Amino acid sequence: MKSCMDILRGLREDRDLKQSDIADLIGTTQQQYSKYETGESELPLRALAVLADHYGVSADYLMGRTDCREGVAGLNKKVSDEYTGGALVSDVLSLSAVGRDAVIDYISLQKLRLCYLKKKEMERKDGPRP
């Protein structure tokens, strides 16, 4: 997994923001924010919460503790009438290894199906591809 410093810098650069932009957001100086990105200083909890909300990711993701980028809003988002994203993840994790593998296989099949349908739609619009 990436380090907190790499994640902070990557999220900022992905949005073409300057260190001073993020420093203003969290109420500090560009010089101090630079120290957060280089690891010279630890990011305060208040700033961590502001950045997690700003980027729409979890605090654990910002700290490099997980690869899951979903923030609280994403985990609380309804994925069906019965499930939020967080509840779905919890249920999948409660399955046996065989059950988790079956869920992963099903997701892979659905992704393949989606690619196939997109390809067919493009062919219908543009004609068959060589």
Q: Show Cβ contacts of residue 71 under 8 Å, excluding neighbours closer than 6 positions.
A: 52, 53, 55, 56, 57, 58, 61
Regarding whether 94 and 39 lie in a shared domain, the answer is no
- Give the other-Cβ count within 10 Å of 11's Cβ: 19
Regarding whether 8 and 71 lie in a shared domain, the answer is yes
- Please calculate the CA angle 52-54-58 and round it to the nearest 5 degrees: 20
- pLDDT, residue 4, reads 92
- Give the other-Cβ count within 10 Å of 75's Cβ: 16
Tell me how far apart the alpha carbons of residues 8 and 69 are, in angstroms, rounded to a whole number. Answer: 12
CATH of residue 48's domain is 1.10.260.40
Q: Which domain holds residue 48?
A: 4-75
- Contact call for residues 126 and 120 (beta carbons, < 8 A): no
Count of domains for the chain: 2
Tell me how far apart the alpha carbons of residues 21 and 5 are, in angstroms, rounded to a whole number. Answer: 17
For the stretch 51-96, pLDDT in tens is 999 998 989 999 999 888 887 777 888 999 988 988 998 999 999 9
Regarding whether 68 and 11 lie in a shared domain, the answer is yes
- pLDDT, residue 54, reads 95
Regarding whether 59 and 9 lie in a shared domain, the answer is yes
Tell me how far apart the alpha carbons of residues 69 and 55 are, in angstroms, rounded to a whole number. Answer: 9
Domain finish residue from 37, 55, 75: 75
Q: Show Cβ contacts of residue 70 under 8 Å, excluding neighbours closer than 6 positions.
A: 57, 58, 61, 85
For the stretch 91-119, pLDDT in tens is 999 999 999 999 999 999 999 999 999 99
